[in-house]
Amino acid sequence: MRILFFGDIVGKPGRHALASVIGQLRGRYKADVVIANGENAAGGFGLTAKVIQDLFKLGVDAITTGNHIWDKKEALALLEGGEPVVRPLNFAPECPGRGAARLELQGGKVLWVANIQGKVMMPPIACPFRAMDQFLKEIPAGEKCLLVDFHAEATSEKRAMGFYLDGRASLVVGTHTHVQTNDAEILPKGTGYISDAGMTGSFASVIGMDVEDSTKRIITGMPVLLNVAKGNVKAAVVFAELDDTTGKCVAIEAFVEPVPRS
């Protein structure tokens, strides 16, 4: 099974980047499935029904999210639908939506996509490690391929999760920090891992947002409105190949794809 994972899509520039490269990358890597973190896809914060449909029309097969999933009120209803849009499974049980999706692919292949959120330097939340232990008990024994989007701030927590799930998940992809890390690897027991997939959007920015807005907020400590930046648009992507029988990762590569100027 060949997977493409797009790092956090930020606003309209991120959606433009995805539209510009998804077809050629899917062909280049002969990908069976495309996953994207979409929690920043609508104006930089959250998701809307139109944005979700746009992402699916472009060829995304499942959307993962994170702490910004509630930023648009309509997400509460959207997550109750049957589409493969998932929020962290360690959110409170009362929260709408689900933490994982089962994707049936061509050739009888099955991929589980799970979403969890970290605790370190993040809003209070249930333990993601214990949540994964429970979730792994619910996957049928014969379905070995599992991608985990770990939406977390601290590299230490992400590394710990990678080793915690080594041999139990096929691929652990970190998201949230919007900066692609240079540590894509296959861990000792066969799990593909990267601390952060990076960002799909404007690289002339502070993690996708206007430089002036972001700098002013940091310097003053005031709640300055952040606008999505527009220039130097690129897509940060992770490619992984899994053994369909064992679920182990046999190849992983992280890269940043330039977007042709329109």
Its pTM stands at 0.96
Residue pLDDT, tens place only, 116-132: 999 999 999 999 999 99
Q: What is the largest CA-CA distance in the chain?
A: 55
Q: List the domains of the chain with CATH numbers.
A: 2-258 (3.60.21.10)
In the block, tokens 């944005």 appear at 51
Alpha-helical runs (H) found in 67-154 = 75-78, 128-136
In percent, the amount of the chain with pLDDT more than 90 equals 94
Q: Residue 118's closest CA among 110, 104, 107, 129? A: 129
Q: Residue 168's closest CA among 133, 117, 116, 119? A: 133
68 is catalytic: yes
Which of 68, 151, 176, 178 is labelled catalytic? 68
Per-residue pLDDT for 76 more than 80?
Answer: no
Residue pLDDT, tens place only, 36-63: 999 999 999 999 999 999 999 999 999 9
Q: How many CA atoms are closer than 13 Å to the CA of 80, on its beta-carbon side?
A: 7
